Chains A and B, each alone.
Chain A
Amino acid sequence: MPKVLKAEGMNKCIGCFTCMLACAGVNHRNHSISKSAIRVRTSGGLQGKFVSVVCLACKDERACAEACPSGALEKRPGGGVILKKEKCIGCRKCESACIVSAVHFDEDENKPIICKHCGVCAKFCPHECLEMEETTNDL
């Protein structure tokens, strides 16, 4: 069964950014958190609690894929999308289409940063804020 990322324990988040460093490292071979598909930020200054901004693995209707003019975002079994880089023209329409702002853009590569639901961030979270959950294949 396919798995998707769930960020249900954010009340425990200490803002260590290890998830972002791990995602950028493993998925983009990069030291910079600006390459991470998951973003953790405060809801306004460090006195506000931490929230995650990450792909919610939409099923059925995937706004980002709908907005893509070149078919570069294919539906992923279980939810979310898979980026086909060679088809992507870097127009950024997927970025604005995502209602929770979970599509980030890599300006150096001129491609969107799409969460693969690979589970690396969850593996590196020291306080179990992130988990991979099994889900049904909707395709």
Chain B
Amino acid sequence: MIYEKYIRVLYLDLTTKKIRIENREDLYSYLGGVGVASKLLEENLKPELDPMDPQQPVIFAIGAASTIFPVITKTVAMFWSPLTGELGESYAGGRMAMTLFLAGYDAIVITGSSDKPTYIAISRNNVEFKDARALWGLSCDEVGRVVREREPGGGKRSIIRIGPAGENLVNYACVCVDTYRHFGRLGLGAVLGSKKLKAISIVGDRDLPIKNFKEYFKVYQELYNRVTDTSIMSKYHDAGTPINIEPLNAAGGLPTKNLKQSVFEHGDKISGETFAHKNLVRKMACTGCPVGCIHIGQFRREFDKGHEYEAVSVSYDYELIFALGSFLGIKSSDEVLQLIEVVENLGLDAMSTGVVLGWATEALAKNLITLEQTLVPLAFGNTKDYITAIEYIACKKNEFYSILAQGAEKASDVYGGKDFAMTFGKNEMPGYHTGYGAVIGATVGARHSHLCNGGYSIDQSMKEFDKEKLVEKLFKEEKERCMLNSLIICLFARKVYDRETILAALNSIGYELTNEDLDAIGERIYKTKLRIKKMMGYDSKNVRFPKRVFETPSMSGQLDEKVAYELLDMYNKKVEEMMAKENA
């Protein structure tokens, strides 16, 4: 809680529909965000029970400096992932952090499950469990509209919701946050679906006087100027992350057609420039961020004969253009947007969906699965049939789609094709085939994301490949991001928030921290996450790399499986050393 030495936690029990609030002084040293969330997850987890047991918790937490400094905009969700069977950790922007902050809570712990569909309405002086029976089955879009109309607080409200995919427990169902942002990966949507929790509305408008205004505002202004003056502002605001398509493609690192290729012959048709010229209609920001990296693309759809058109708008980003674009051989920006729209309304993670379909397409071509199972002839570039397949995944149409709804790893367990099931740690791959950094990074990353440790970035910045250096950098960055994610800085601003800046910002709102403190916090949080992963049954030695990674050349050249396992070994040793040290 800002200006207080405790973390204010709201506990919600969906089974009893009761709440309780605790001011946790013992969590203060974890700052907030992933620090607080992982401790709460560790406390409330029931490792002896099934991952999707109603008793399992879902934790949401905001950071120590949420909303009050520019680009500190995110909320973290932590849970037991049904997709990987271990740590679920996901971040979303939108308005959630600001509204939670101004509703007066640092963290929410949700346990139990409701017998009937429900949604929760949180405001600064009330928490209610509401009837969501009529909302069950509605798309993310529709649910948003209804809750918006029913709940007061427009302009200071956040609405997070699941779609049919979450209701049907698809392992990679996402949670939509304020229409254009998401808790995308690792299946939080399914966990909420299993609890019959359709949506959460948060209204935040409490009175919160600033202490130490002079010092605080000085830091605020400086940060604001730096964020708006530097080129990060332009890169993310301009064409946005989609500008990555062109350089990645030119450098041979763009995963294409289930990573059969790392160059897409039609890359120019789905480049950031193309989207900007043909489809971009609007840019938006998460509350508290002057950059505005959310890019909205529009396409016209003819939905019936007789010139019946509608305009459809969806937000697009690099990862979606890779997963629902190059990875599936889709040749136009309009078609990519079409696929995004389907995925959005059903409430599925775009990245996992694309990668799963990539596997299925190749498996069908290799006769590991049949048309009787896929029901539609999946083929690279065939948007129409992909749309149908996505709908089938969301509703688990038949036995095959039920398996597919469990992820590419599970699907390849059942039907074969493991060599080209592109997962790292059972999480579908991100859009970077840049080198060992990307591969090892996603594999050792606590949540199996390229964002855990920026491996793909290290691939680009390392002039000469050095195993020791790579492992050291990954390890250091993983811990650093644990600290950044306790604040919770949007990682786009990580260059602006160097250590000096972070300390100035935190100290202006009452913290008394040093650089060494930040080091210790990062490590403390990382150790907590690793303990949780172990509790959930994760074994870092029991990982595989899909062979395809070594068949298709990366941006740094052909990768060698032996080297990959060697690097993995080296990283695991570093972790062992750290865990053996006295508890920080």
The answer to whether A and B touch directly, with their CB atoms under 8 angstroms apart, is yes
Name A's B-contacting residues (CB within 8 A).
Answer: 14-18, 21, 25-26, 29-35, 39-42, 45-47, 49, 108, 124, 126-127
B292 to chain A, nearest CB (A): 3
Assess whether B209 is interfacial by the CB under 8 Å rule: yes
**Inter-chain contacts of B217 with A (CB < 8 A):** 25-26
Q: Could you give 28 example pairs across A and B, Cβ below 8 Å?
A: A14-B284, A14-B292, A15-B287, A16-B285, A16-B287, A16-B288, A16-B289, A16-B291, A18-B70, A18-B224, A21-B288, A29-B209, A30-B208, A30-B209, A30-B210, A31-B209, A32-B205, A32-B207, A32-B208, A34-B205, A45-B144, A45-B148, A46-B179, A47-B313, A126-B228, A126-B292, A127-B290, A127-B292
Given contacts A14-B292, A30-B210, A41-B155, 4 further A-B contacts (CB under 8 A): A16-B291, A31-B210, A126-B228, A126-B290
**Inter-chain contacts of A18 with B (CB < 8 A):** 70, 224, 288, 290
**Inter-chain contacts of A34 with B (CB < 8 A):** 102, 156, 205-207
Given A16-B289, A39-B155, A124-B224, verify A31-B67 contact (CB < 8 Å). yes
A103 to chain B, nearest CB (A): 15
Assess whether B467 is interfacial by the CB under 8 Å rule: no
Bound-state Cα–Cα, A39 to B101, Å:
18
Interface contact A21-B285, CB-CB below 8 Å: no
Among residues of A, the one whose C-beta sits closest to the C-beta of B94 is A46
Interface contact A17-B98, CB-CB below 8 Å: yes
Among residues of A, the one whose C-beta sits closest to the C-beta of B206 is A32
Assess whether B318 is interfacial by the CB under 8 Å rule: no
Name B's A-contacting residues (CB within 8 A).
Answer: 2, 67-68, 70, 98, 101-102, 144-145, 148, 154-156, 178-180, 204-210, 213, 217, 220, 224, 228, 233, 282-292, 294, 313
List the 6 closest pairs (A to B, CB-CB), nearest first: A14-B292, A126-B290, A34-B205, A41-B155, A16-B285, A31-B208
**Inter-chain contacts of B213 with A (CB < 8 A):** 25, 29
Among residues of A, the one whose C-beta sits closest to the C-beta of B221 is A124
Residue pairs across A and B with CB atoms within 8 Å: the count is: 90
Among residues of A, the one whose C-beta sits closest to the C-beta of B69 is A21
Bound-state Cα–Cα, A14 to B180, Å:
13
Interface of B, secondary structure class, is: loop
**Inter-chain contacts of A32 with B (CB < 8 A):** 102, 204-208
Bound-state Cα–Cα, A124 to B313, Å:
29
Interface contact A31-B68, CB-CB below 8 Å: yes
Bound-state Cα–Cα, A71 to B289, Å:
39
Interface of A, secondary structure class, is: loop
A59 to chain B, nearest CB (A): 28
B511 to chain A, nearest CB (A): 16
B344 to chain A, nearest CB (A): 12
A84 to chain B, nearest CB (A): 22
A111 to chain B, nearest CB (A): 13
Bound-state Cα–Cα, A126 to B145, Å:
29
Bound-state Cα–Cα, A32 to B288, Å:
12
Bound-state Cα–Cα, A26 to B101, Å:
19
A138 to chain B, nearest CB (A): 31
**Inter-chain contacts of B282 with A (CB < 8 A):** 49
Among residues of A, the one whose C-beta sits closest to the C-beta of B509 is A31
**Inter-chain contacts of B283 with A (CB < 8 A):** 14
Most buried by B among A30, A41, A46: A46
Interface contact B284-A15, CB-CB below 8 Å: yes
Given A34-B102, A40-B155, verify A45-B145 contact (CB < 8 Å). yes
Interface contact A33-B156, CB-CB below 8 Å: yes
Bound-state Cα–Cα, A25 to B145, Å:
31
Among residues of B, the one whose C-beta sits closest to the C-beta of A108 is B207
**Inter-chain contacts of A127 with B (CB < 8 A):** 290, 292
